[in-house]
Structure 1
């Protein structure tokens, strides 16, 4: 798969000079959830049926970050590099990453079609039913259809409905905020995942008999609700079940400024300081609480471990 970064205007970009006729799925595709997968799959299928390249165009950073609306937009569900990897798994041949800046934000719908899509030899564009483009989101799928005639065909993909409602990034965030990782996984098509580096913590877990990996999460990941989870971790090429807490450790701290992420990996004692760990959220066990004694805390940790082992055993047999 070829990855091409573009900045508007693209007239002199090498990508234009070497471009081949293509079908292009266009969108931000935050999370690459089942609805996005449906759009991209239709683009890939259309490309193959018509002897064209199957391509995706996405935008970075998110338009709301550039336009000063970050209060309306939380961290992406999927950082750019992870999003691109999911495109690859869907059979995409070329990914265009368009830098979204103030100049590009001012491009009209007609300019987008004439000076972006046509130079890239887009013969078919595939977009979701709620796709918008151009300055102030003035362009809609029907606008693209009209502007594309006669040389660019447009396929408009209807919403992907699951459990009576459309699949959306907003719905996935709400599930994660609500402590419903199973629902998020169903909408995404796979468990929600974050990634981080193992750093040294306070060393308290080992003293309690439950050593933990303190994970400093990479930027760009949406962090689910604080609390205790059953997880699957991937480290050093191995998948390991475990239990994870996101929180402020109220039994030991009164005012920890930021929540921390600590994972206890079952039957695993290797030194992984400095290693990158991927965490998949499988099930929410409970909210974080302050315990009256260390013995109460240890008893609860033991119960959490037993519950997580049972849940993960059943999950891994699916």
Structure 2
């Protein structure tokens, strides 16, 4: 069936629904488990499966916290991933001050039951909702006893003995554990941007790069060099990517950049939109005393990345050293 995306919770087509509630950042293994359980129960009850989640267009999150390098996915990536899981309705509601101040009862009664015609609500066992997180699993169960709403409380999903959370994935990205993050998300972490002009140093040393500013709302990666693939107009190109401030050639305090070399591509990328998918961390960002040293290190990094791509991800990487032995 067709996917519907709603950005408000009023004046909706009438349909009895089962709803999964959450932020769903990264749509990771835990989220997928919750949605899978929702889908099965919706099929039994003949309900339309949907997800109620949030957009942060105001730049402010829960508890008036400013959004800054918080997210594993853009809204568009989240929508496409949820679509692939079979969700039919997505309620992507702006996180306004008015919405955040709804009590738990007002949210369940006024938004979910009355506006969305929700008959089944799925949350994680530690899920919270309503002003200052007043609502929890116990609150939902008590509310359901007096209303036509079935609660579905889904236990935590464990991977390697620990609960899978968006925070755990962000922590993995921050220390360069890309493979772990990918496995928990069941998809690659991406950064997307429009290519801008740079110093052209890469071209001068034989490795032209397409550069864009690190997205301000995306979770932070460890600074350094990565094996990547880059999507351009629907085509996926093997690539090597540096994330950082290019300290050998740029001033201290410069903005973070994503610098990508599509090593089998030949063409002008300025002004084009790229989506870089991160696969493996190679080494930390380094300061080089000469351009010759920089070029030699990049050449060695590229050889390692080519070998990694050609082997399907099994080749040893060049390590974390800035020095070529």
TM-score under structure 1 length normalisation: 0.92
CA distance in 2 between counterparts of 1:64 and 1:162 reads 31
Gap regions ≥5 residues in structure 2: 315-325
Runs ≥4 in structure 1, deviation > 6 angstroms?
none
Equivalent residue in structure 1 for 2:23, among 13, 28, 41: 28
Once the two structures are superposed, the pairs formed by residues 253-272 of structure 1 within 5 Å of their partners are 253-272=250-269
Once the two structures are superposed, the pairs formed by residues 1-318 of structure 1 within 5 Å of their partners are 1-6=3-8, 13-15=10-12, 18-61=13-56, 65=61, 67-70=63-66, 74-119=69-114, 120-149=116-145, 150-315=147-312
Say whether the 8 Å CA contact 1:197–1:218 is kept in structure 2.
no
CA distance in 1 between counterparts of 2:148 and 2:20 reads 16
The alpha carbon displacement at 1:176 in A equals 0.5
The alpha carbon displacement at 1:64 in A equals 6.2
The alpha carbon displacement at 1:217 in A equals 4.4
Say whether the 8 Å CA contact 2:60–2:95 is kept in structure 1.
no
Q: Cα 1:19–1:78, aligned 2, differ >3 Å: closer, same or farther?
A: same
Q: Cα 1:213–1:163, aligned 2, differ >3 Å: closer, same or farther?
A: same
Say whether the 8 Å CA contact 1:113–1:148 is kept in structure 2.
no
User: Would you say how many aligned residue pairs link Structure 1 and Structure 2?
Assistant: 310
The alpha carbon displacement at 1:26 in A equals 0.6
Gap regions ≥5 residues in structure 1: none
Greater shift, 168-177 or 82-91, is seen at: 82-91
CA distance in 2 between counterparts of 1:297 and 1:104 reads 51
Instruction: Give the match's secondary structure for 2:281.
Output: strand
The alpha carbon displacement at 1:123 in A equals 0.9
How large is the Cα RMSD of the aligned pairs? 2.0
The alpha carbon displacement at 1:187 in A equals 0.8
The alpha carbon displacement at 1:218 in A equals 4.5
The alpha carbon displacement at 1:49 in A equals 2.2
